[in-house]
Amino acid sequence: MFAGITVVGIWASIQIRHFPTGAQLEAPDPWLDNQNPWELPRLDVTYEVRFYGYAERLNDGTGRSVWTGGQEVLAVAYDVMIPGCYTKNTNNLRLWESKPKRGFDLNSFNAGDYERAIESSNSAAAITSVLYPNDHTSFGKELRLKQQYFWTAASLADILRRFKNIGKPLSAFPDCKLYFYRVSRVLIDVYLQTHPTLAIPELMRILIDEEETPWDDAWNIVTNTFFYTNHTVLPEALEKWPVPLMEHLLPRHMQIIYDINMYFLQAVEKKFPGDRDRLARMSLIEEGFPKQVRMAFLACIGSRRVNGVAELHSELVRTTILKDFVEFEGRSKFSNVTNGITPRRWLDQCNPELSALISKTLGLQKPVWLKDLFRLEGLLKLVEDKKFRDEWAAIKQRNKERLANLVKTTLGFTVNTNAMFDVQIKRLHEYKRQTLNIFGVIYRYLTLKKMSAEERKKVNPRVVFFAGKAAPAYYIAKLTIRLIVNVARVINDDPETKDLLSLYFLPDYSVSLAEVLIPASDISQHISTAGTEASGTSNMKFCLNGGLLVGTVDGANIEIAEEVGESNVFFFGHLAPAVEDLRYQHVYHPVPIEEKCPALANVLNTVSGGMFGDGGVYDPLLNTIRQGDYYLLSDDFDSYIAALDLVDEAYKDKDEWVKKSIRTTAKMGKFSSDRAINEYAESFWNLEAIKVPQ
Ligand SMILES: *Cc1c(COP(=O)(O)O)cnc(C)c1O
DSSP line for 335-349: EE----B-HIIIIII
Is residue 159's pLDDT more than 60? Answer: yes
Say yes or no: CB of residue 108 within 6 Å of ligand 1.
no
CA of 324 to the centre of ligand 1 (A): 32
Say yes or no: CB of residue 453 within 6 Å of ligand 1.
no
Q: So what's the pLDDT on residue 419?
A: 98
Is residue 137's pLDDT more than 60? Answer: no
Is residue 551's pLDDT more than 60? Answer: yes
Helices (H) and strands (E) in the chain, counts: 28, 23
Q: Which residues of 143-175 are buried (b: 16+ CB within 10 A; e: fewer)?
A: ebbbbbbbbbbbbbbbbbebbeeeeeebeebbe
Is residue 521's pLDDT more than 90? Answer: yes
Using one digit for the tens of pLDDT, what is the confidence trace for 401-457?
999 999 999 999 999 999 999 999 999 999 999 999 999 999 999 999 999 999 999
Q: So what's the pLDDT on residue 7?
A: 34
Is residue 11's pLDDT more than 60? Answer: no
- Residue 116 catalytic? no
Q: So what's the pLDDT on residue 16?
A: 58
This prediction has a pTM of: 0.93
Q: Among the listed ranges 156-160, 469-473, 603-607, which one has the minimum average pLDDT value?
A: 469-473
Confidence band, pLDDT 50/70/90 cuts, at residue 186: very low
Is residue 111's pLDDT more than 80? Answer: no
What one-character-per-residue DSSP string does 626-650 give? HTT-TT-HHHHHHHHHHHHHHHHHH
Helix (H, G, I), strand (E, B) or coil at 257: helix
Q: So what's the pLDDT on residue 193?
A: 60
- Residue 231 catalytic? yes
Is residue 12's pLDDT more than 60? Answer: no
Rounded CA-CA distance 215/65 in Å is 12
Is residue 118's pLDDT more than 90? Answer: no
Is residue 606's pLDDT more than 70? Answer: yes
CA of 340 to the centre of ligand 1 (A): 12
Amino acid (1-letter code) at residue 266: Q
Residue 573 CA to its chain's centroid (Å): 23
Rounded CA-CA distance 661/396 in Å is 10
Say yes or no: CB of residue 13 within 6 Å of ligand 1.
no
Q: Are the beta carbons of 237 and 193 closer than 8 angstroms?
A: yes
Q: So what's the pLDDT on residue 543?
A: 98
Long-range contacts for 617-622 (Cβ within 8 Å, ≥24 apart)? 617/479, 617/482, 618/479, 618/482, 618/483, 620/475, 620/476, 620/479, 621/435, 621/476, 621/479, 621/480, 621/483
Using one digit for the tens of pLDDT, what is the confidence trace for 626-647?
999 999 999 999 999 999 999 9
Residue 413: which of 354, 488, 470 has the closest Cα? 488
The C-alpha angle 340, 341, 347, rounded to 5 degrees, equals: 140
Q: Is 629 left (phi over 0), alpha (psi -120 to 50) or beta?
A: left
Angle between helices 633-652 and 434-450 (to 10 degrees): 60
Rounded CA-CA distance 280/613 in Å is 50
Cβ neighbour number for residue 528 with a 10 Å cutoff: 24
Rounded CA-CA distance 220/669 in Å is 38
Rounded CA-CA distance 310/139 in Å is 27
Is residue 189's pLDDT more than 70? Answer: no
CA of 538 to the centre of ligand 1 (A): 5
Is residue 36's pLDDT more than 90? Answer: no
- Residue 667 catalytic? no
Average pLDDT for 539-562: 98
Is residue 109's pLDDT more than 80? Answer: no
CA of 9 to the centre of ligand 1 (A): 18
User: Which residues fall within 8 angstroms of residue 274, CB to CB, at 6 or more apart?
Assistant: none
- Residue 691 catalytic? no
Q: So what's the pLDDT on residue 104?
A: 54
Say yes or no: CB of residue 231 within 6 Å of ligand 1.
no
Q: So what's the pLDDT on residue 62?
A: 84
Using one digit for the tens of pLDDT, what is the confidence trace for 120-131?
666 787 787 766
Residue 223 CA to its chain's centroid (Å): 25
Between 568 and 7, residue with greater pLDDT:
568
Confidence band, pLDDT 50/70/90 cuts, at residue 162: confident
Confidence band, pLDDT 50/70/90 cuts, at residue 344: very high
Among 510, 538, 544, name the best residue to mutate to test ligand 1's pocket (greatest count of ligand atoms within 8 A of Cβ): 538
Say yes or no: CB of residue 538 within 6 Å of ligand 1.
yes
Cβ neighbour number for residue 252 with a 10 Å cutoff: 24
Helix, strand, coil shares of the chain, percent, nearest 5, are: 50, 20, 30
Q: Are the beta carbons of 481 and 437 closer than 8 angstroms?
A: no
The HSE-up count of residue 322 (CA atoms within 13 Å, CB side) is 32
What value does the mean pLDDT of the chain take? 90
User: Which residues fall within 8 angstroms of residue 676, CB to CB, at 6 or more apart?
Assistant: 337, 338, 339, 340
CA of 127 to the centre of ligand 1 (A): 27
Using one digit for the tens of pLDDT, what is the confidence trace for 307-327?
999 999 999 999 999 999 999
% pLDDT > 90, the chain: 74
Cis peptide before 290 (omega within 30 of 0): yes
Confidence band, pLDDT 50/70/90 cuts, at residue 181: very low
Q: Are the beta carbons of 442 and 490 closer than 8 angstroms?
A: no
Q: So what's the pLDDT on residue 309?
A: 95
Helix (H, G, I), strand (E, B) or coil at 526: strand
Closest C-alpha residue for ligand 1 atom 2 = 538
Rounded-to-10 torsion of CA 111, 117, 118, 119: 120
- Residue 426 catalytic? yes
Q: So what's the pLDDT on residue 383?
A: 98
Helix (H, G, I), strand (E, B) or coil at 485: helix
- Residue 541 catalytic? yes
Q: Among the listed ranges 62-71, 175-184, 513-522, 595-604, which one has the minimum average pLDDT value?
A: 175-184
Q: So what's the pLDDT on residue 3?
A: 32
Between 184 and 665, residue with greater pLDDT:
665
Q: Which atom of ligand 1 is nearest to the CA of 509?
A: 13
Q: Using alpha carbons only, how large is the chain's radius of gyration in Å?
A: 27
